Structure 1
Amino acid sequence: MPINKLFGGSIEVMHQALNVRNQRQGLIQSNIANLETPGYKVQDFPFELVMQRVISGQGELARTHKGHLAVDPGEAARVSQFRQEERPVDLDEEMLKLSENQLMYQVTSKLIAKKFEGLRHVIDEGAK
């Protein structure tokens, strides 16, 4: 039985959430790194909209040939929601977004760990 059937697909959704959070982390770090770059504009994407597209399957691209590489649905959804704001980088705001993103990444990874702990508990109790 596939692991997704066991948890109703929640592990796959959380896996995609971790990927999207990781991509957003890199984008925020890029904003901070370019704080003093003349003409640089803030770049970001709305996490919620990207996750909605991933969950609904809108982020998947059709493979028209078996030799084509598969594209991660989270990456495709993120690119479609990418935006560049017409303002310079505000360090305080970017640090706040960075902290929030890190916290949400940690929460999601702990939820996945708890799912597997529950599975291990069921397996261990069955061995008694």
Structure 2
Amino acid sequence: MSISFDKALGVHQYTVGVRGKRAETLASNLANANTPGYKAKDIDFKRALNAATSGATVGLSRTNGRHIAASSSHVMGEQKYRVPTQPDTGDGNTVDAQLEQNLFMQNAIEYQASLDFLGSKFKNLSKALKGE
């Protein structure tokens, strides 16, 4: 009898990847808080998780019949520009540092929770294999 990791690990295997990608995006926003013209970006977590769990792929176009067909099996979420919550300061930057810090901390807590859930799943699988 084989173990299906998709069933055993559930959605948590995907949430870690999506939360990691969102952390990179939020960190990029914080790093560019003083860059003129920089527009704040974010990832729609629900949409990215749905794409990751459905196994969505991105096909690459072929310009010649002899090209090898290729696709990417992981779609981690499209970065979109966030609607600014503060008025423009004159330099075109839409990053609100306090908002970005709050979103980053919230995402970090949720990332850690996903890691904890995933860790407990592996712990239970290990116990099951040992017969405990």
Say yes or no: TM over 0.5.
yes
Alignment of 1:99 onto 2:100 = no
Q: 1: CA distance between counterparts of 2:24 and 2:7? A: 32
Contact 1:54 1:74 in 2 (8 A): yes
Distance 1:102 1:68 in 2: 37
Give the Å deviation of 1:68: 4.7
Structure 1 6/98 Cα, relative in aligned 2: closer, same or farther at 3 Å? closer
Q: CA RMSD, aligned part only? A: 2.6
Do the aligned residues in 2 keep the contact of 1:16 with 1:74 (CA within 8 Å)?
A: no
2:90 corresponds in structure 1 to none
Which residue in 2 is equivalent to 1:109? 115
Residue identity opposite 2:54 in structure 1 = S
SS in 2 for 1:40: coil
Q: Superposed, which structure 2 residues align to 1:33-48 within 5 Å?
A: 33-48=31-46
After TM superposition, give the deviation of residue 4 of structure 1 in Å.
Answer: 1.9
Once the two structures are aligned, what percentage of the paired residues are identical? Answer: 22
For residue 36 of structure 2, give the secondary structure of its aligned residue in structure 1: coil
> Residues of 2 paired with 1:72 and 1:48: CA distance?
18
Q: How many residues align?
A: 118
Task: Give ranges in structure 1 of 5+ residues lacking alignment.
Answer: none
Question: 2: CA distance between counterparts of 1:85 and 1:5?
Answer: 32
Stretches of structure 2 lacking an aligned partner (at least 5 in a row): 85-93
Report the equivalent of 1:123.
129
| Counterpart residue number, 2:30 | 32
**Normalising by structure 1, what TM-score?**
0.76
Q: Which has the higher helix share?
A: 1
- Contact 2:59/2:72 (CA < 8 Å) preserved in 1? no
Q: How does 1:65-104 map to 2 (within 5 A)?
A: 67-75=68-76, 78-79=77-78, 82-87=79-84, 88-104=94-110
Deviation for aligned residue 1:56: 3.1
Shift in alpha-carbon separation, 1:33–1:64, aligned structure 2, 3 A: closer
- List per-residue Cα deviations over 1:27-56 (Å, max 9, x = no partner): 100100000111111111111121123223
**Cα distance per residue 1:44-88 (max 9 Å; x no partner):** 11111211232234x32357999555424233xx12xx2113531
- Give distance in 1, aligned partners of 2:120 and 2:29: 33
Tell which structure's C-alpha radius of gyration is larger: 2
What TM-score results when the alignment is normalised by the length of structure 2?
0.74
